[in-house]
Amino acid sequence: MSKIAILGATGNVGQSVAAEFAQSPNHQLVLVARNLDAAEKVVTANPRHQNLGVLPIEQFEFGEYDIVVNAIGAGDSGRISSLGSDLMRSTEEWDHRVFTLLEKTPETLYVCFSSGTAFGLLRDEPVS
């Protein structure tokens, strides 16, 4: 059984990824989120999946999972605009944290759906 963490599990992308993985009983899913009430709603939306849990983002530890899916993002253009540079700082923080942890646990598969990873630590400009 694969242990899978979904970061940003309450957003549109995170919920879609969770629903897809929840179709298979061969996965233990951990929904990692800032808003635990919203994450619990995702669990409720997938009642047939027995191996589905919730974890506050502050408690997330990278090495415990076979697969980590990063779906952290602002969600819509209005929220992106209101977050301003805070969004970039958050993206850089998570990129740095994940890449540092990947060096320690190279066997973990990291899949990123966050649009912010095309910027910051990896590149100085958007990917063309």
Amino acid identity of residue 123, one-letter, is R
Distance CA 100, CA 91 (A): 14
- pLDDT band, very low/low/confident/very high, at 31 (cuts 50, 70, 90): very high
Average pLDDT (4-12) is 88
63-105: per-residue pLDDT in tens?
Answer: 788 999 988 876 655 666 676 667 667 777 777 777 787 888 8
- Give the dihedral sign, CA 38/39/41/42: positive
Mean pLDDT of the chain, nearest integer: 78
- pLDDT band, very low/low/confident/very high, at 51 (cuts 50, 70, 90): confident
